[in-house]
Amino acid sequence: MKRVTDAVFRVLVTPGELVGWLILPLIVSVLLTVLAAQMGWNAFLRWEASIPVLGNAITVNSLADLQWYIFAIIAIFGGVYAFRDDQHVSVDVFSSALPRRVRLGLSLFGDLVFLLPFCAIIVWYGWSFTLTAFNSGEGSSYGGLMDRWLIKAIIPLGFALLGIAAFVRAIATIHSLLQPSSGARPGDDR
């Protein structure tokens, strides 16, 4: 069971591992924005035909949009990574003194009653949020990035991955609870 769970988690956190590299373009974007502000520049490049996402230019506003796009991508996919490693926000201060089986039961309850329904709601509404942006051709009205549906699609995708991770962890937790001599759930080193 642990090998299957670990393999599924490896697949689920791959986007989080990959998007960690986006910190480099984020740094470059911030530096270019600061440079542009100091130099009084507004546009870096302009062209005639509209290009997906970029529109007709790379401007200071494009770079500002890019910064929050990158931050959103890192935060959403990084959440799955943090969940797998049990580094997410939790109430360990209250549960750390409890027996292991009680902690596993609380974790299972939280995953099934709170996390999975929350992920399902975000995926459901995030999908329609994305479709609305796609159908309306939503983009920046102030010279920033276009095709906002692409960044909005990250929301249901990231929460779908988190929901799958919660489901897998719930199954692993049930397995641990049913086998008293077995090891803890993935990521539980207590």
- How far is Cα 130 from Cα 149, in angstroms, rounded to an integer? 5
Contact criterion met (CB below 8 Å) for 119 and 168? no
Greater confidence (58 vs 157) lies with: 157
Q: In whole numbers, what is the pLDDT of the chain averaged over residues?
A: 88
Greater confidence (190 vs 183) lies with: 183
Contact criterion met (CB below 8 Å) for 44 and 58? yes
Q: Taking the model in full, what pTM does it have?
A: 0.84
Residue 179 has pLDDT above 90, yes or no: no
Q: Where are the domains of the chain?
A: 2-87+96-178
Alpha-helical runs (H) found in 20-59: 23-39
pLDDT score, position 184: 52
pLDDT score, position 103: 87
Q: For 154-178, how does the pLDDT look when each residue is reduced to its tens digit (9 = 90+)?
A: 999 999 999 999 999 999 999 999 9
pLDDT score, position 190: 41
Residue 90 has pLDDT above 60, yes or no: yes
The DSSP call for residue 184 is P
- How far is Cα 66 from Cα 140, in angstroms, rounded to an integer? 12
From residue 123, give the alpha-carbon distance in Å to each of 25, 54, 60, 80, 95. 28, 26, 32, 14, 30
Question: Percentages helix, strand, coil for the chain, rounded to the nearest 5?
Answer: 70, 5, 20
Q: For 91-122, how does the pLDDT look when each residue is reduced to its tens digit (9 = 90+)?
A: 667 777 888 898 899 889 999 999 999 999 99
Residue 182 has pLDDT above 70, yes or no: no
Q: What is the mean pLDDT of residues 142-157?
A: 91
Greater confidence (182 vs 6) lies with: 6
Residue 18 has pLDDT above 50, yes or no: yes
pLDDT score, position 27: 96
